[in-house]
Amino acid sequence: MSKIISGNKQREPPYLPEPLEPRLNSDDGSVSIEAAFALSSLVIVCGLIIAAMVTVTAYLAALDMAGAAARAHSIGESFEPLRGSVSWEESGGMLTAEARVPAPFGEATAHAVYPVEN
């Protein structure tokens, strides 16, 4: 294999123009790339944390909605959920209400049981 002698340096193939060699061997700009990856990772993690918090909030809303729906239906009142859906099932003098609320990670579902009043 032949070597090219340029000035006082010997260079191995592939032969790059002399001005590119110092830039390719330099670490300049690597901090910018690392910072970009770190920031994008932080944004993704923060987004996942917020979505998880919204999912827990949706479950709490479904739990409250199921209890309110069971109480209202057991005394003969109508109940209209603000969001999501509610279904009822009556068995042995007990009314079971199931509420479903959309959430970022699936659907939050909650059940509430209430005695039927005559």
Domain total for the chain?
Answer: 1
Residue 1 placed within a domain: no
Residue 21 placed within a domain: no
Between these two residues, 15 and 85, which has the higher pLDDT value? Answer: 85
Residue 41 placed within a domain: yes
Pick the most confident of 9-18, 44-53, 71-80. Answer: 44-53
Instruction: Report the alpha-carbon distance of residue 85 to residue 104 in Å, rounded.
Output: 16
Residue 80 placed within a domain: yes
Instruction: Report the alpha-carbon distance of residue 46 to residue 64 in Å, rounded.
Output: 27
Q: What percent of the chain has pLDDT over 70?
A: 75
Closest of 76, 66, 68, 55 to residue 118, by C-alpha? 76
Residue 10 placed within a domain: no
Question: Can you give the residue range of the structural domain that contains 84?
Answer: 29-115
Burial of 111 (0-12, 13-18, 19+ CB in 10 A): middle
Q: What is the pLDDT of residues 22-56, one digit of tens each?
A: 666 667 667 788 899 999 999 999 999 999 999 99
* pTM over cut 0.85: no
**Does position 87 have pLDDT exceeding 90, yes or no?**
yes
**Does position 86 have pLDDT exceeding 90, yes or no?**
yes
Distance of CA 14 to the CA centre of its chain: 47
Contact in structure between 89 and 96 (CB atoms under 8 Å): yes
Residue 4 placed within a domain: no
